[in-house]
Structure 1
Amino acid sequence: MAPSPSSGDPALYAIEYTPEYNQFIEKLAAYHEQRGTEFIREPKVGARQIDLLKLYQRVMSYGGYDKVSDEKKAWRGLGDEFALGNAHQPALAFSLKSVYYKNLAAYEISTVHGKEPPPKEILEHQTAKGGGLLTRTLENFKSRKQTADDQSEASGEDGTPSRDRNGSEEAPGSGGRITRGLRQAPPQRVLFQSDTQSSRPTRHVPSTPQHQSHGTSTSYNPSSNIDNMSLAVANYEPRPQMPMTLRPIITPGNNPVEFSRRQIAKIASLDAATGKPSSLTNRGVMLPGSGFDGPNIYVRCLCSLKSAIPSEQDYALHHLVKISMERGDKYRFESFSGLAEALIEKLLEASSLFYKVDWRISYNYDKTMMGIDTLDGIEGTPDILQRIEQLEKREIDDNIQTAAFSDALLQINEAALTMRNMVMLEENAQYVSEMAPLRDFLSIALNLPRLHCLVELKHYALDIAEQLTKYLHLDDADPLYISLLAQLESEDRGAVLTSLRAISRISMTLEENNLLHGVPRAALQRIIYWTLLYDEEMVHACLDFLYQYTAVVSNVDFLVSTVHVEPLVNQLTRLLAYGARDVYSSLLLTNEVRRSSPQELAKLPRELLVQLLRLDEPERSSQWLRCLFEEDKDESITQIKLWTAYQDRFLPVIGETNRSILPAADFIKNVSTTFAEKANAQVQTGLVPKFVIKGIRMRHVPVDFQGKEYSECLWGIFPGNSHSKCGEFFMSPQEMFFHIMELHLHTPMSPGVIFTNRGGQFTCAWGSCTRFHHHPATRLSDLASHIKLHLPPSHIPKAQAEGPSAAKKAKLSYVTPPVKVNFRWQQTAVDENQAAAGIPLSAVLVLRNLARNLSKTDADETALKLSGVSWVDQLFKPVEPKLYEVLAHNKPLATYVTDLLSAINDP
């Protein structure tokens, strides 16, 4: 890049009417006049007039228009140099680029590059967006335009999407377009949770999101494939606000020179023959189809849908599906008046494909003039189901369909999918819930013939109903309520699942109670059977329905009178442990206790001394340290004391074997090597410096090479003094027993030989034991049997895999661990507040409703008269022990089970 002059200096780029400038402008004006294009001598960008000569020279210093456009933010840098301002820099930079493009681009191609510039229709009459100047030839422009037209036809950007079919679309019930793929599954949803407080029991809403699943359909509508989304939908954003350009009007008073020049130019432009302005005076007029983008994609889709022109409706529905899926959170019905009504009118056309009817919507309060094909647009059509039964059916082959039928059904499916996507937004759902024609359509769609080609449309209708029923109050005679109940007899899992959710949501946001009257016995029996399935979504939907249903006493009366309820209660009790896992915790009874360091070094057991004497230095000193010392960052021992203890122990016996012990300096270094983690030699400053080993302490009890502790003999040496003790250490209880008998009781012992029993008076001198102190034993065998009670237990051999360091690292001998109590309970599903949720909560709420309402039913009075046993006792006494078990072990459900047991025992 050429070096830039000092940027931001307004005087630097002010127009200077030098001879060079005037000659350049006149030459440029003649060029544009010959080319037949409009030329502005002193164009303005923002509030500043642009010197075309300086702009041309600056762009040429970069290497031309293409070089500046290829470099990122280069035009913005030129805008800074021309002091255009800091506000709206991108817009000002594009305006500067457009000034060059309109006035100097063709001139650059002719003079600098020596080529013929393209026609004005593909240069000056186009915007500055796009490729470079040298590629804008007539041939390249036609090729690029043809490619854009082909892409537009396929994607629906600027025209109606293609209706060509491929082989896969000829399948029965298929309506997919060649440019589309399979539709993605609907997004996961969480069942609605009401924020209002009502008098009825609180609804349970599961904490985990429920995934919408539908049955397999033989027809599909691939319009919602995100990979095929058109760029107009994906990249559309409102056009940025451009700064307003204010241009002063040239008058003889404020600019006489320019006014005179323009008058001369105007006279010169007159036709000499006729005296009228030539055709060049029309330059600059915006002709139709050039420079105007038209309405945005949203407005155009709305107008196309209302036009009733099939090709325009194809375009509108094609894009509405994508807009509603990708930008449904910003696309609201209230912002586009008439869109919901147009979609409903399109949906009602579904009946015309299967019945000889053309529904019309009437908003007239006079109901007497309505025919069988007229729907009440104000209050809804209460007899819509009876009207459907009276309609004459058309002969439809579910396997072979005409092209016109497939295209019409495709449009209806796209309209239904658009409506379904948009009502996922709560504002849209509440908006259309007040539209009676939409409720009529749902009743019509759910009662269309059972054909494979209608599976997709019915699923969309159920999804729409699921979002709307929470804003509707439906009694047992409402056509939509009856239609939803009829779907429970379907073999389609998706239809059953969505219907249950829609029924459970009725009146959820309203003050009116959802009584759920009129549910057939067969439907209730099916729901009870479905709770036995290993299908979490289905079980959850059934329990949510049963919770609403059992909240009404009359429903409970009908349930126990017509259906076998015992299996339901047993299954609900089992579901209280659904997904339970064991949780362990502990409660500390005492704190950790740390023993103080002993004052004297523990005695070295004889068998351990023999093992140490077999080793050579420095291994002998390392093992001696490990057996009698351990790491402790808070303790220390003087170096002289440590070395003296080692020397006193081994120097007398080493001399007899002609061996030597480790020198003092090497011994101190070996201490840090043996306890590498914490031990190190230090000098403590003071009046007298003290040389210590920091990080180790003496053991109370020595350990062997594998880290197992020895047992100390606590037999008192001096009778009557409980603090005097033998202090010898032994590994096995048998060796300690032999030691006590031989050394302290003076009775010779040998392995495999019974000691010689003798009479006398014998007392126990073990520690603080007072056995035989008041009544001494008269036989030595009695005392020997008692001594075995004091002996330590035999050591259990450890696994070889643990190694010699496993016992050492397991615990510290000077730390007594705290005493704690372990607890175990069962944990079922919980929400973010650790409160009960999921299937177990739904199950206990249904059980609680049954226990509370059974005693209020007529069936309970009848049972008491006939058998003397109430329905509460018949259903809940067999499972009462299991309920107490859940109360004891399931912490999240404890509160709810307590209420349930109270209702059982105190009906």
Structure 2
Amino acid sequence: MAPARQREPSIERTAEYDEFIEKLEKYHEKRGTHFEREPKVGTRHIDLLRLYKRVCEEGGYDKVSDTKGNKLAWRRIASEFLPGSSNVTTQAFIVKSAYYKNLAAYEISDVYKRDPPPKEILEDVSAKGGDLLNRTVENYFRPVSREAESLANGQDKESDESDQDTHKTPKEDKMEIDEPGSTGGRVTRALRHAPPQRVLFQPDLSSTRQTRQSSGNMNSPTPGSGNAHGQTNGTYGSTGAAMTIANYEPRPPLPSAVKPVATPGNNPEHFRNIRNRLAAASRASRGVQQHKGMMLPGTGFMGPNIYIRALLALQSNNVEEEAYALHHLVKISHERGDKYRFDGFPGLAEALIVKVIEVASLFYDVKWEISYRDDEMIQETNVLNGLTGTPDLLRKIQSLTVIDMQDDLLPEDVTAALGRVHEAGLILRNMVMLEENAQYVSKLPLVRDLVVIALNLPRHSTIIELQHYSLEIAEQLTKYWTLDSQDPLYRSLLAQVDSTDRGRIITSLRALGRISMNLEANNRLTDVPIATLQQICDWLLIEDEELRNACLDFLYQYTAVIDNVEILINSVNLEGLVNQLVRLLLYNAHTEELRGRTKPPAKSAPTPETAPKLSSAIIEQLVALEEPERSSQWLRTCFEEDPAGEITQIALWGAYNQAFNDVMQAQPHHKMLMPAKDFITNVSSTFPGATAQVLQISATQQKYTIRGIRPRSVPVDPIGRRPYMRCQWQAPALLNGHADTKHSAAITECGEYAPTAKQMWEHVLSAHLKVPRDDTGKWLLETKPDISMTNGEATSPTLRYNCHWGGCKHFDAVTGSASVYEVGQHIKTHLPDASSKSAQRQKHNRTPSNSTFLAGSGQLNYAQMQPMGMGLGLSNSQPQPPLKWMNTATDERNDAAGLPLASVLVLRNLARQMAKLEGPAEAVDRRVSSSSDGSIQGEESDTWVKRVFAPVKDQLYFVMAHNTTLREYMVSLNKAIAAGGG
């Protein structure tokens, strides 16, 4: 049986390595010793050639094993061959033993050209010690175990040691210092001390505490201490031993302990054990075997946990045990998938893969064998390469004979075996959903063969579930692989796109789109059939979001390569593909309204203290009314209800009189204003929530107020509730006849309000530009400054006009413009256009170029100078029309997601890659472009980018303007189109 787990690539299999191993094998065969080709330490194998070279570099086995001159040498060598090992000491001895058993004798013969010691004193003994070059049968003695040494004593030990001295390897004599008190120095190495006699240890069991004197007498002699006669204490015949014997006193007898008699009443457990022993002896006499020394369930031994038991059961190859393991592993992988990891249970992933591969035996006349040897055996039809995968697996599968099955009903044993295979596939599918498990399984080449075998099984309804599991496994693992165009897995995934199963198509497209996603290598997706490309583009028209997402994921990876884009151009309707992608940019977009100036500010604007200033046109309309309607309209225009608002009666009456003061003096024929008392009463009639109050400030002072109203920040039309326009003309004060543009404090804003843009324009002409009118009310515009007349007086030719609307800097601040017509045209760009035909006007909504003055008199009707539309120049207080955003889906990070994001990424790839294609687009109709005056500019051949993206350019700009989610991606897309000449 093949090993359960893949061997790590720790051996470099070169021609030199193979030649060395063969030579070494012949050497051991001739020597009659066992040779291990690839010694294993932990999970790694030792490269004998590399180890041999490394030890020879250090001076050979004897030099490395010399603990005096080269300490810890084997640890250093072991750390090089086994990096990251936690127990270096143990691993070093294992590496040393591997060298000792396989290479030590060969080193003596190959390097020193000498005959090595016989195997009885080399390979057959432990690797402890060194000095192999000087080891002979005469001077080497097998080491005695520690237990034998600890048990040896007395005469036996002495005899053993005497025997050992005759067989041990001679060692270098050392100078030894004689012990004090010895009769003479050690004359020779052969003289030895007599072994010490045994001293019986007598523990002190007395309960009374001994005195210092008595305890000193009872102490046993200390080995090595001298006596007065100059003899070593504790040796045979010494005075210390004699004194110990002489001072020995027997311990006093201890009182006997009374033990209770065991009866069934006071010790039932004792009699229960006796009964059990008798029953066991009875069973043994009848031939019933006992589990002697084994802890059986129910006797305190819980056994292995469910995880270990399931793993061992799966590796047992027993049908019942496999069924048990798979049943529980399905539940564990589903409920504990985030905790259950392959790296914590070595061999589990390999066992599951092998179990799933067994499905081929149910439908083909083959039983796959897994080989972990890179030799000619792998070329056989029924052998899979467990080291690097099987590159010709598709050819092997095609050569197999399919077992004839009449219908979907399978035999009972086949159904049970297929059920276990399905469970193993489901476990693998559940496990690889965890990222750590996916990384672990991706390093097993055999899992690729599993997916290929499952996807290429004969068409049968019973294997559809397993094939879906295999596709989902591939979807999680392809991001860790690099697959070329001839890889069996790549060809098998492409073949699934031609299926009629929607789930199979979607999963296979996702797996193809994720190839090498987590690697630096590019996923080129080469040799995709033309029919497959056409199908993928056609599926984008189906109202299936999941299928569209899978197709766009594939196209995003496919269009990242210029060669693929060139194939796509020649294979599919590229214009139709781009149109569909552009339509998907606003897929499921939701409309959001954002009002530019109606959004409440962070800090509320302060309430104005005085009523707003109205223009003369508004005042003239109000003066024409009769009282009390005049005051009511003025109040509705300039004030609004506010429960917290308050204004004094004198301030309200003063604002009312000041608003109509100039008109009443200029036109005294109008009826006078209401008296103050009636005006205050009319305030409550106009605003039901307003009440006149008298506040007692002090004993002698009162304050007359009106609560419930406050001044408007922007006056409104009292009938239509339409806000009036504020004049933002910032006329600089004059210093010595010239405008002071250096001091901002001198700048004052007009602040008057006008009901319409036309009246505001007329207000600016009359109040600020001082443009006169003729008798018919038309504006007199100068055509020649030297002959134009103003009120019968010649206009100064040095008179200059400028625009001071809201800090406008269109004209030069000093020189301005000599044409009031030009300045008047420009002022209209600051005003809104309420005309329904504004969208049809030319750029800037200016008067068409063929508009002329009336009868050459320099007069211009207002209809010829309509103000600019699109809400330009609105005052800060006037609300703009709401802006409508068409935003698409976002993810949890508020970034673009879904079909719109995938579509814009594919479009960007197309624009970038088509720009790199040389030459004009083929089969493109030559188009004639004409200028605004109708003259023909010429014929030009369009580029691919221009041909494909020019028809949808307006749609792309619309998406960029209205979709804030895709705005950044749309900007990069339009840059790519512009760079490609689109």
User: TM-score, structure 2 length as denominator?
Assistant: 0.46
Higher relative contact order (CA 8 A, sep 6+): 1
State TM-score, norm by structure 1. Answer: 0.50
